Structure 1
Amino acid sequence: MITTAGMMDPHDERDGMAFAVARTRDEALLYLELTPCQDCGSNEAPWEHGLTEVDGELTISYAAVCPGCGAEREYLFGLPALETPPGSWPTFGGAEPSELLDAGQWLEVADQAAGNVPADSTEAGRVLAIARAAVEEVIKFVPAGQDAVPVDEFWTSAGRKVRDPEPGRFRLDRLLVVRDTYHELSLTTGAK
């Protein structure tokens, strides 16, 4: 059975597209890593990707056979209106906020990465780069002129679980301090 995901919630009609946009390959792969197999819960899969057309809309398909249970999995994502220019690794997206992961999920990614920094300086720099980039993604959910991520930017139960115990973590001033701290720590590890 093929599980198709990446579909936007019916109540969320951003840009009128049927599929949530994967702004970059890094973002799509992170989404897939955070979306375990519905049959066995495995996060591992040998993903293959390519362009496909669905109802006249060009999409990108990520498909794999789950190594845990053999289930066929497929996720369809919309393509961004503009290509995100390459930047430092990881590149999750451009200036616009994510449609795949909500603000709470991004902060959870940052927390997980920062909580698992290895002793090896090269690898520590890579892990801290992920933490920094994930916090930058949270910041994109703060509207211009506002001081915090709005409540409606937590559209998943996983994201709300991160926000609800400590909503102050989503204030812009705190997010900027955390992002800058991860950046400074990555510099002290010798990462570029």
Structure 2
Amino acid sequence: MNPPLSRTSAEAHLYMDLHPCSCGSTRFPRHSAVVALADGDLASRYTGTCEGCGAEREFVFRLPATPGRTSGGFRYGGNEPSQLLDPGEWLLVADAYAGSVPAESAGEAGQRARAALTRAVAALDEVGKFAPEGGGEIPASAFVSDRGRQLHQREPGRFRRERLAAVRGSYAELLARLG
């Protein structure tokens, strides 16, 4: 088996959060180890016991040949598109994080709001990585998950480059105002 590439640990954890156990629970204490694959590449292996039903969970992700640099703030990956999540899933993640921001964001709520908006912006950046150079919208072939395809079919206009940029700009502006 050839495990999928995870560009960062944040991307791997997000993937695990989006893939629940058969009982529906996503929570399990994650013990991680770096392991060698049969082809000599390295992978991250996450194991633990589901908090919902007690089933053993395991996820294995191939590590990049050269670790990416994530300077300039929080990022889920480098310049290449994700192999774990499709653009629809990334947009759903951005929506969830942005939707969790409270109207009043002072004190501790402000810290949570900044963290959520930071992740929403990073998820929107991931959506844009699926757009072809010079293309106006993300092609239907990029949507490989059921969730992603369903969102694209319901709201294809949300995957136009200019609309993604406008939403990202709004989130970034709100984030800047939060300080």
Give the TM-score normalised by structure 2.
0.91
Structure 2 residue corresponding to 1:154, chosen from 143, 147, 165: 143
Say if 1:37 and 1:43, in contact at 8 Å, map to a contact too. yes
Task: Quote the Cα distance in structure 1 between the aligned partners of 2:53 and 2:75.
Answer: 31
Q: Give the structure 2 partner of residue 10 of structure 1.
A: none
- Cα-Cα RMSD: 1.3
Give the match's secondary structure for 2:154: coil
Q: Give the structure 1 partner of residue 75 of structure 2.
A: 91
Give the TM-score normalised by structure 1.
0.86
Q: Give the structure 2 partner of residue 54 of structure 1.
A: 37
Matches within 5 A, 1:146-185: 146-185=135-174
Query: Percent identity among equivalent residues?
Result: 43
What is the deviation of 1:90? Answer: 3.0
Q: Give the structure 1 partner of residue 84 of structure 2.
A: 100
Q: Give the structure 2 partner of residue 187 of structure 1.
A: 176
Structure 2: gaps of 5 or more residues: none
Q: Give the structure 2 partner of residue 137 of structure 1.
A: 126
Task: Quote the Cα distance in structure 2 between the aligned partners of 1:175 and 1:141.
Answer: 12
1:86–1:131: structure 2 CA closer, same or farther, 3 Å change rule?
Answer: same
Say if 1:26 and 1:90, in contact at 8 Å, map to a contact too. no
Q: Give the structure 2 partner of residue 26 of structure 1.
A: 10
Say if 2:4 and 2:61, in contact at 8 Å, map to a contact too. yes
The answer to which structure has the higher helix fraction is 2
How many residues in Structure 1 have an aligned counterpart in Structure 2?
173
Residue 128 (1) aligns with residue 117 (2)? yes
Say if 2:70 and 2:78, in contact at 8 Å, map to a contact too. no
Give the AA of the match of 2:25: S
Larger displacement relative to structure 2 (168-177 or 52-61): 52-61
Q: Deviations over 1:149-183 (max 9, x none)?
A: 11111100011121111101001111111111110
Q: Deviations over 1:112-147 (max 9, x none)?
A: 111110332221111111111100000001111111
Structure 1: gaps of 5 or more residues: 1-6, 8-17
Residue 41 (1) aligns with residue 24 (2)? yes
Task: Quote the Cα distance in structure 1 between the aligned partners of 2:8 and 2:167.
Answer: 24
Task: Quote the Cα distance in structure 2 between the aligned partners of 1:91 and 1:52.
Answer: 24
Give the match's secondary structure for 1:43: coil
Q: Give the structure 2 partner of residue 15 of structure 1.
A: none
What is the deviation of 1:185? Answer: 0.5
Give the match's secondary structure for 1:164: helix
Residue 71 (1) aligns with residue 55 (2)? yes
